[in-house]
Amino acid sequence: MTTHLAIDDNLINEALKLGHFKTKEDTVVTALKEFINRRKQMEIVDLFGQFDPDQDYDYKQGRRS
């Protein structure tokens, strides 16, 4: 899908340099993927403390060899 966007040249150029990308398209695609992943992580973090722990779970079992 072709989309035309007006993106601040300073932002895109800085992202190009920091990410060592070859094209502006690679830069934007990676930025969007990272944005999506970060938002999904934030949703998971919001769930912490909302569930009661399983009383039967033995967390030390995984440490035993």
- Measured in residues, the chain has a length of 65
- C-alpha 21: how far from its chain's center? 18
Write down the H helix ranges in the chain. 9-19, 24-47
Structure tokens at 25: 């398209």
Q: What is the reported pLDDT for 22? A: 96
pLDDT digits (tens, 9 = 90+) for 15-44: 999 999 999 999 999 999 999 999 999 998
pLDDT over 70 (residue 65): no
The two three-digit tokens of residue 49, written as one number: 């403390």
